[in-house]
Amino acid sequence: MLVMLHLPRPYRRLLVLILALPATLFVLAVLYQAGMQYFEGQTRSLLASLKWAAEALTTTGYGGDTAWTHPVMQFYVIAVQFIGVFLVLLVFPIFFIPFFEERFETRLPTRLPDLKGSVLIYRYGPAVSSLLLELDQAQVPVAIFEEDEAVARRLRERGRLVVLGNLREEDPDLSNLAGARGMILNGDDNDNALMTLAARHSGFTGPIVALAGDPSRSPPLIRAGATVAFTPDHVLAAALAARASRKISPRVAGVHRFSQHLEVAELRLHAGSPLAGATIRNTGIRTQTGATIVGMWVGGELVRQPPVDTLLEPGSILIVVGSQKAIDRLGEVATAAPRRGPFLLIGHSQLGEKVTELLRDAGEDVLVLDTKPADEVDVVGDLLDTKVLEASGASTAQAVILTLDTDSATIFATAVVRSLSPDAVIIAGTRRVETVSRIYRAGADFALSVSQVSGQLLTYHILGQESVSLEIATKLVATSGVSLTGRPLKAFGIRKHTGCLVVAVERNDQVMVEFDLDFEVRPDDTVYITGTPDGISKYFKHFPDAGLKPAAKPDEQPNS
């Protein structure tokens, strides 16, 4: 019995079939022998009864033994015939097909290859999907240690290097981990701790970044050997709270500090703004405010590096880069005046609990709406009922924050709130970066995914790069000015040769966004460029000495 439990499932099924068929055949034969004797008054040997049962089960037909006159025997024979047909239909899809699939399908490796210079990811999920794109862009090899065979096979079909293992049943062989660039742990907290201990025991001394489900588990993970541990949901909650509250982020919502002097922001263009309906050229945004438009969300679609004759439509979301003062100046003319009143948070999930805690700690008034009663829930009702939303103040709330459990529910809730209040400020948290564009299309002002915030933190810890993903196919990176010296900046034809755009040059404590025909970059300048991943690659191939600027070390590592 113990040996059978350790067999693969197709083998266990085949063994059950081999044992069950003779037993079923014997039982039917004994019943037939007894029935013929009792109801028909005819004697049948066990061997003859077995022959009849085999003919019935295999549906091959009967020989001369067809003399059934008693109704009980006739019903018995009919029942056995249906049992035989059922077994024939059942045996192939449940027993034989899985067995042969297991025998002939490609086996997944169970031992790590040489990982020198590679990154090992333990367990795939939304929190690491953006990181994979960043690592692909940086041409860093990746191996994924996965325990779910179905997930492992899907990843293999996408061309990923996957190793199948079971951490709880056996110690993984991590001898080839030496020389790896780093490890990302994305499993359960207990499994992350086991993987950390196994990696350190194997002699791995590189960085190990653990994604903790519970922030209280971060210190134990670090004691177990992790370099840093943080909770992706809490990082996302902090970002959402900062985007919502002027007390936490007291200027323009949606700002991401990229460096000491440069910021990235997303601003919804209000219908009453003087910029609405004009082209980028006619507004003179770059000259008047010092901010540069590097992208626009229009109808849920991202327009990268919009031409100067692009029309600024009301409701579109501008992705801008500039100094703090430049972002402030643009925010004053682009966005609507902030509303007074409480924040309405819809969805008392783990993410919602943390957002509520952060906002209330900052002194904000928060009204929580959920389908189930709880200590922190103020209104209980249908989250998508317009009457419930109206009674909860969705039309007058300072902002509506969506922290639901599923991305599909978040998309639908966004559409419902937008239809109820065209001017509402909607901030949404989601799991997957692929959902962000759909949430924008539904009408959100700002949308952030766990994948985006954790991907940028992981990129920093593993690659040490200072870069921001504005969207799944657009990046902003800081580069060295060494390759752009000796001639005026515009003489290099950066946009023509690479498709990238220089949005700012940082020199000492000054950020410059306007470049005349004679502007020259100095070797110690930091040049900020934006473009698609392919465009960024072309840029570094065309200017091999540019190099990514290393990220400045923060005072404190994230641990929550």
Higher-pLDDT residue of 131, 212: 212
User: Residue 290: what pLDDT?
Assistant: 81
User: Residue 513: what pLDDT?
Assistant: 75
Of 43, 76, 104, the one marking the end of a domain is: 104
360 and 314 within one domain: no
User: Residue 192: what pLDDT?
Assistant: 92
- Band the pLDDT of 87: cuts 50, 70, 90: confident
Question: What is the Cα–Cα distance from 317 to 266, expressed in whole angstroms?
Answer: 6
Question: What is the Cα–Cα distance from 306 to 181, expressed in whole angstroms?
Answer: 37
Question: What is the Cα–Cα distance from 194 to 165, expressed in whole angstroms?
Answer: 13
Lowest mean pLDDT among 243-257, 297-311, 390-404: 243-257
Question: What is the Cα–Cα distance from 190 to 204, expressed in whole angstroms?
Answer: 19
Q: Is residue 536 part of a domain?
A: yes
* Cβ count near 243 (within 10 Å): 25
- Band the pLDDT of 216: cuts 50, 70, 90: confident
Q: What is the CATH number of the domain that holds 418?
A: 3.40.50.720
Q: Is residue 208 part of a domain?
A: yes
189 and 168 within one domain: yes
Residues 301 and 237 sit within 8 Å (Cβ to Cβ): no
- Reading the block at residue 149, the tokens are 């065979």
User: Residue 184: what pLDDT?
Assistant: 93
What is the chain's percent helix, strand, coil content, to nearest 5? 45, 20, 40
Selection from 56-60, 90-94, 333-337, 398-402 with the highest mean pLDDT: 398-402
400 and 360 within one domain: yes
Question: What is the Cα–Cα distance from 349 to 236, expressed in whole angstroms?
Answer: 13
Average pLDDT over residues 118-147: 87
Higher-pLDDT residue of 377, 326: 377
Question: What is the Cα–Cα distance from 384 to 365, expressed in whole angstroms?
Answer: 22
Higher-pLDDT residue of 143, 169: 143
Of 198, 230, 262, the one marking the end of a domain is: 230
71 and 48 within one domain: yes
304 and 272 within one domain: yes
Average pLDDT over residues 270-284: 83
Lowest mean pLDDT among 81-95, 278-292, 422-436, 544-558: 544-558
Percent of the chain residues topping a pLDDT of 90: 20
412 and 375 within one domain: yes
User: Residue 410: what pLDDT?
Assistant: 94
Give me the torsion for CA of 312, 313, 314, 318, rounded to 10°.
-50
Q: What is the CATH number of the domain that holds 513?
A: 3.30.70.1450
Q: Is residue 109 part of a domain?
A: no
- Band the pLDDT of 346: cuts 50, 70, 90: very high
* Cβ count near 393 (within 10 Å): 18
Q: Which residue segment(s) compose the domain that 516 sits in?
A: 473-542
User: Residue 168: what pLDDT?
Assistant: 77
User: Residue 259: what pLDDT?
Assistant: 62
* Cβ count near 75 (within 10 Å): 11
Question: What is the Cα–Cα distance from 82 to 387, expressed in whole angstroms?
Answer: 56
- Band the pLDDT of 227: cuts 50, 70, 90: very high
- Reading the block at residue 448, the tokens are 């952030």
Selection from 210-219, 251-260, 463-472, 531-540 with the highest mean pLDDT: 210-219
- Reading the block at residue 390, the tokens are 């109206």
Cα→Cα distances 148→144, 156, 165, 427, 451, Å: 11, 12, 8, 33, 20
User: Residue 21: what pLDDT?
Assistant: 78
User: Residue 407: what pLDDT?
Assistant: 92
Lowest mean pLDDT among 2-16, 206-220, 420-434: 2-16
Lowest mean pLDDT among 116-130, 160-174, 289-303, 458-472: 458-472
Q: What is the pTM of this model?
A: 0.65
Interacting residues of 119 by C-beta distance below 8 A, sequence separation 6+ = 135, 140, 141, 142, 143, 180, 181, 182, 183, 184, 462
* Cβ count near 84 (within 10 Å): 20
- Band the pLDDT of 135: cuts 50, 70, 90: confident
Residues 467 and 459 sit within 8 Å (Cβ to Cβ): yes
Q: Is residue 114 part of a domain?
A: no
Would the pLDDT of 254 be above 80?
no
381 and 288 within one domain: no
Q: Is residue 79 part of a domain?
A: yes
Average pLDDT over residues 80-95: 73
371 and 330 within one domain: no
Question: What is the Cα–Cα distance from 133 to 141, expressed in whole angstroms?
Answer: 11
264 and 190 within one domain: no
325 and 286 within one domain: yes
User: What sections of 307-349 are H helices per DSSP?
Assistant: 324-334
Interacting residues of 456 by C-beta distance below 8 A, sequence separation 6+ = 130, 467, 468, 469
Q: How far is CA 503 from the centre of its chain?
A: 29
Cα→Cα distances 86→57, 75, 89, 95, Å: 9, 17, 5, 13
Average pLDDT over residues 20-33: 84
- Count of structural domains, the chain: 5
What three-state secondary structure class fits 475? strand
How does the average pLDDT of the chain come out, rounded?
81
Q: What is the pLDDT of residues 512-531, one digit of tens each?
A: 877 776 888 988 888 888 88
- Band the pLDDT of 144: cuts 50, 70, 90: very high
481 and 443 within one domain: no
Would the pLDDT of 402 be above 80?
yes
Higher-pLDDT residue of 274, 412: 412
382 and 301 within one domain: no
User: Residue 3: what pLDDT?
Assistant: 45
Q: What is the pLDDT of residues 309-328, one digit of tens each?
A: 888 888 788 888 887 788 88
User: Residue 556: what pLDDT?
Assistant: 38
Which among 1, 4, 18 has a CA at the least distance from the CA of 96?
Answer: 18
Lowest mean pLDDT among 129-133, 265-269, 513-517, 551-555: 551-555
Of 230, 259, 280, the one marking the end of a domain is: 230
- Band the pLDDT of 291: cuts 50, 70, 90: confident
Question: What is the Cα–Cα distance from 96 to 480, expressed in whole angstroms?
Answer: 62
- Reading the block at residue 369, the tokens are 């709406």
User: Residue 2: what pLDDT?
Assistant: 41
Higher-pLDDT residue of 1, 444: 444
Percent of the chain residues topping a pLDDT of 70: 85
Lowest mean pLDDT among 25-29, 116-120, 189-193, 401-405: 25-29
